[in-house]
A = this chain, B = another copy of it.
């Protein structure tokens, strides 16, 4: 290879400067990093026709201090009113707070911020201490028709946190971030919505010590954003964790919710099953803050039995075989794996490079046994639950894999993936520093439409020269799965990028996928909602919106496509 030099880019290991643009768009912990492997570096150069020279100097790093030239339009008296509710130290009007708490992790936002572009900001950032604060804030905003937005963990990739109409931003993760109680009999936990994944999971794991429970527990929900997403965010944006095939999506693991809306406050019924009309608990899920503020949520929890975890990995000869085997597994009723993923041919190659397996003796053996590059497909996962159950599921998976010509790679590969599974988002900053975009879209799809969606969306993405497109399926249901498309390309301007991205969504729609499997809608997909759901169904959501929020103060400006 022409690119086999010894040069490695000087990937940043520096935390972003204080109050800088970079500190807003950088993923995760300021001092944590995950750099592309050497194999990846070579791949990027080759794919994009770049040389080491292109990786000598990072660009648009965004280390400048945030400055904002948008005036605060709320009157000092109004601001004072909010201050009286939450206290002075929980009220912020500084530029940095206004920018930080109105941006998530959408690629568009990172491109903007690297160029010091701030499209919108709230007038005021509030850190409510409790439900009462939220009730007073919502009432005040409703009375005075002040837009009100909600910020959880900040990991939205759908412009979910942007504030096109200014007003007030409510930050739930500052104070409302505690596990309030565990009900061991019912296997439920009462959680404040601003609690982030790791703190929640740790508290559940440590429940015997902290809450005097008999068993240790797990939340069962581990999205890639786990470390920087909030429990409330999981619920209101309909997230899916990496082990959702076993534990269910966020939708499935919510027992009840408590909301503050302009039309009043309520807590949904707390029954494991009930036949008393349409369920408010479900009507509110996925409302993304547009109906009101989630102030408390009771989640279903699960026994924490990490010792029972079984890992597996297989190489399939083809994507078709991997898909057919997956379908057979999930429909056979022998139980369900927890994590389960199949990568298409391109992702398999890129993945082998990412994990450092590419070019090793393992790779050689796999290739020699007939699993050809750009045909073979990687599958990996875990089985959880009671020991015998996990073992049985793993054995049955092995049988189906064998039937479809797959070769076992042992659980070691799955172990590698597990170790770094929350770290991949960190690579985004490294790549963008050198003018490369990595982004993802994901779509829910039935089995009968999976191949068409895969081919159709890949065809669109690959029709653009010099674009890497990796695809995997990672959330399995008897009726179908999701396709998660990761694409990598050289930097383009935001307008061009948006056009390309919209084209992907159009390709998804044309080929029968849903416009989002687990990232939500936010404002990014708003314009597609009417077409996707149809007028009759959108008017139902709008009727609910009018009921809960007659003055349209809750996250106005395109959220969920409700007020377009």
Contacts and interface: CB of A to CB of B under 8 A. Distances in A.
Name the residue in A240, A327, A388 with the highest tally of chain B Cβ atoms < 10 Å from its Cβ.
Answer: A388
Name the residue in A477, A529, A560 with the highest tally of chain B Cβ atoms < 10 Å from its Cβ.
Answer: A477
A537 B268 contact: yes
B277 A287 contact: yes
A286 interface: yes
A273 B240 contact: yes
Interface string A323-340: 000010001111100000
B544 A539 contact: no
A520 B547 CA distance: 25
Contacts of A368: none
Name the residue in A270, A303, A448, A519 with the highest tally of chain B Cβ atoms < 10 Å from its Cβ.
Answer: A270
A302 B529 contact: no
Interface residues on A, range: 35 or more
Nearest to A278: B286
Contacts of A271: 444-446, 480, 513-514, 517
Interface string A264-298: 11101111111111111011111110000000000
A288 B276 CA distance: 10
A348 interface: no
A543 interface: yes
A525 to B, nearest CB: 7
A525 B280 contact: no
Contact of A389 (B274, B278, B392): B392
A266 B536 contact: yes
A332 B188 contact: no
Contacts of A266: 534, 536-537
Contacts of A475: 273
Contacts of A264: 535-536, 539
Interface stretch (A65-73, A136-144, A179-187, A425-433): A179-187
Contacts of A183: 446, 448
Interface in A105-136: none
A237 B268 CA distance: 19
Nearest to A514: B274
A332 B277 contact: no
B516 A276 contact: yes
Contacts of A388: 334, 392, 395-396
A561 B237 CA distance: 31
Interface string A379-402: 000001110110010011000000
A504 to B, nearest CB: 16
Contact of A278 (B332, B478, B481, B541): B541
Nearest to A187: B478
A479 interface: yes
Given A278-B286, A305-B333, 4 more contacts: A271-B444, A276-B516, A303-B332, A386-B396
10 contacts: A273-B482, A274-B514, A274-B516, A275-B517, A280-B533, A282-B282, A282-B283, A333-B385, A335-B335, A540-B548
Ranked nearest first, the 6 interchain pairs of A and B with the lowest CB-CB distance are: A272-B477, A543-B547, A238-B275, A271-B444, A272-B480, A266-B536
